[in-house]
Structure 1
Amino acid sequence: MSPPVVAAALLDDRGSEEQPSKAVPTILRLGIFVPDRVVHVRHAMVPWLMRVNEKIGPMGYEIQLFSGGALGHDGEMQLRLLMAGVTDITWFPFGYVAGRFPEISLLEIPLLSDDPMALTRAFWRLHERGFFPGLDDVTVLGLSVSPANYLHMADDFDGLSGLSNRKIRVANAAQARIVEAMGATAVGGITATQVAESLSRKMIDGVLFSWHGTKATGIELTTRSHMTQALGFTPSAVVMNKDRFRDLPPKVKEAILSESGEAFSLALTASMMAEADKAIARVKESPDHQFYRPSPSESAHLMAAFTAMAEQWQGTDQDRRDLLRALSRILEDMAAEKAPL
């Protein structure tokens, strides 16, 4: 397990000159199960943490980062520890706790948009309007939608017709539905850190994964064919224990919220998007990799599958229908306004 990370050390190399003694601050524990080198931690969460600490430090408070599973080895455990008060703040992907937040699974389906920045902005605005009642149990600081997941294959790939009997690693039920719609076999139970080994040992033939994580997980080294069709997203959240937040002094709460919200949410997504763009450019330059663009009929088939998933998701539930309409309306309004993303 990784020891607590001193956030300042991640951003600068200032010396350790002796400082005047001062009162020991009250620590707010931020627990994440991924390493601090992960792009959205290093380039979005740590800068956020430092900005908040600059404001709350003089008031006797400090957020301290516990990364790499030091406090909880996965997203489900992170949320459980947060709710129990073991940690005060955490980040987790909703796929780890899908049953607890069923409405949010709508954002995993690539139907209304393939733009993670637009979806992130819409995600936050829907939350502000109260469309996700499951989030009432926590204080929400940031909401993000990752860059799209794409199909990465270990061998040559020339279309959906070649996916019969191919085993594709998936991370959640939505991904399983998409893989099945492509004619392949969905395989769960493989963590992100196990994907590369599973590919190299021929335990699986491919994986749905976002480009922003292909280098860190070794997927770039164990795959050679990549589909250009977006195949779903991974929504995530930065949240705080509601009781812990309630008991903070008003000025501390104000400082934390002033650095949180839609801007912080977009920063999380933007950091992942930048890494994804670098990965795609890097792989395109390699003669060992190839990209496959679906034919019009294949794209139509996939869009029909996404539509069916959305229809099944909403069913006859009026609240879910209202959420789908609200999401569509927000995305349409942003497109009409050409809102800067």
Structure 2
Amino acid sequence: MTYLNKLLGAAALLGITAFPATAETLRFSSFEPPVAHVTKEILTPWAEDVSAASNGELTIQMFPGGSLGRNPAQQLQMVEDGVADIAWVIPGYSPGRFQESTVAELPFLIPSSTVGSPAMWKMYEDGHFKGDFNKLKMLGIFVSYPNSIASTAPVEAPEDMKGMNVRAPGPTMLSAVEALGAVPVGGITGPTVAESISRGLIGATFTQWGAIETFRMGDVISHFNTAPLGATPMLVVMNRAKYDSLSDEAKAAIDKFSGAAFSERFGKSFDDNIAEARDELLAQGNITVSEPDEAQTQAWRDAVAIATEQWIEQNENGQAIYDAFTTAIEEEAARVN
């Protein structure tokens, strides 16, 4: 009997594995700072839960703060190239890649992330989101709380935006900007918004309280109009080939915490953070909030209605997708309320 066989035999008698398998390590990229809410309170705990559920088959290692790639627009490509195995992706930075999801950017449609995120997953599950959605392993599909107008000058009514350079985080929201008579400015990612405002490149941005806090926009804006002008679609995606290469136990751990469960988890946490960020920012006394009354709200609706009409016309099956999403939102709102 060889020395190796003796070792194996002894290990068998002791009921242990002589050569334990090494856990598969997956790299999860986030462009956010490690202390930012989504990364710290949603993505990292999700990774920990999946790792723990895999019974040693899997370890998901977070790479926050752009340590694998700083540009938010690079995250999708990093997953496709295998630089990252998993990433948090903003589809608006890759126009045309996840076109159906831009329905969530339409104004006055999404009431909250709590309602909108599970509705987004249902759209995917029911086959309304196709194309590039099927080229990757979808782990979660979400939307932000509705974006409103953060600006350096008062914005009370739609006409106040005429001629103003305005940034939005997605192509459909940029259509709403144009409908308001403002100058749409694309290509500015969340981390560079504050600098763009301070340099005078833009005078306003479509955003929400969490992003204002995370990306320090509160230092450069002074006004916030709460009209809900479209939410930001977001994804957590995985390299499909990498997922397919995993053991059944590792896949089961990922699947357990993904899909509808991930969307529900994301939505509630995101909205909770919006409320906290709003209170903290307003306590500083530097931002004046304008909340449109019923008449003003109707004026905003009328001013941006063309953005919805154009989206339906310009997208294949646009009306069917819009109708299905409206129904999904109504059903989810009834469920959570």
Question: TM class, shorter-chain normalised?
Answer: 0.7 to 0.9
* Structure 1: stretches of 5+ with no match in the other structure: 1-20
Residues 95-146 of structure 1, C-alpha deviations (whole Å, 9 max, x = no match):
1112111111111113333222211111111111111112111111111111
Which residue number in structure 2 is paired with residue 110 of structure 1?
107
**Separation in 2 of the partners of 1:158 and 1:307?**
18
Q: Aligned-pair distance for 1:29?
A: 1.4
Deviation at 1:180, TM superposition (A): 2.2
State the AA in 2 paired with 1:192: G
Matched, 1:130 2:127: yes
Q: Which residue of 2 aligns with 1:205?
A: 203
- For residue 309 of structure 1, the aligned residue among 300, 307, 310 is 307
Number of the residue aligned with 2:12: none
Aligned partner letter, 2:88: W
Q: Is the 8 A contact 1:159 1:292 kept in 2?
A: no
- Matched residue, 1:5: none
d(CA) in 2 for partners of 1:269, 1:140: 16
For residues 80 and 252 of structure 2, the distance between their equivalents in structure 1, rounded to whole angstroms, comes to 22
Distance 1:168 1:96 in 2: 16
- 1:220 and 1:264, CA in 2 relative to 1: closer, same or farther beyond 3 A? same
Q: Call closer, same or farther: CA 1:233–1:136 in 2, change over 3 Å.
A: same
* Deviation of the 1:54 alpha carbon: 0.9
**Alpha-carbon deviation of 1:154?**
1.4
**In the alignment, is residue 221 of structure 1 matched against residue 227 of structure 2?**
no
Distance in 2 between the 1:62 and 1:112 partners? 38
Give the CA deviation at 1:221.
Answer: 1.9
- Give structure 2 stretches of 5+ with no counterpart: 1-18
CA distance, structure 1, for counterparts of residue 84 and residue 110 of structure 2: 34
CA distance in 2, matches of 1:47, 1:172: 28
Matches within 5 A, 1:1-341: 24-59=22-57, 61-134=58-131, 135-315=133-313, 319-335=317-333, 338-340=334-336
TM-score (norm 1): 0.85
User: 8 Å contact 1:181–1:302 — kept in the other structure?
Assistant: no
- Rate the CA distance shift 1:128–1:27 in 2: closer, same or farther, 3 A: same
Identity of aligned residues (%): 28
Counterparts of 1:194 and 1:318 in 2: how far apart (Å)?
33
State which drifts further: 136-145 or 113-122.
113-122
Check whether the contact 1:29–1:66 (CA below 8 A) recurs between aligned residues.
Answer: yes
Residues 26 and 86 of structure 2 are in contact (CA less than 8 Å); yes or no, is this contact kept in structure 1?
yes
SS in 2 for 1:28: strand
The one-letter code matched in structure 2 to 1:115 is: S
SS where residue 91 of structure 1 aligns? strand
The residue aligned with 1:10 is none
**Partner in structure 2 of residue 14 of structure 1:** none
CA-atom RMSD in angstroms: 2.3
Q: Aligned with 2:173: secondary structure? A: helix
Report how far residue 82 of structure 1 moved. 1.1
Contact residue 111 and residue 307 of structure 1 kept, 8 A:
no
Change (3 A) 1:206 1:128: same
Structure 2 distance, partners of 1:139, 1:190, is 27
Separation in structure 2 between the aligned mates of residue 305 and residue 158 of structure 1, nearest angstrom: 13
Q: Which sits farther off after the overlay, 296-305 or 178-187?
A: 296-305
Shift of 1:22: 6.4
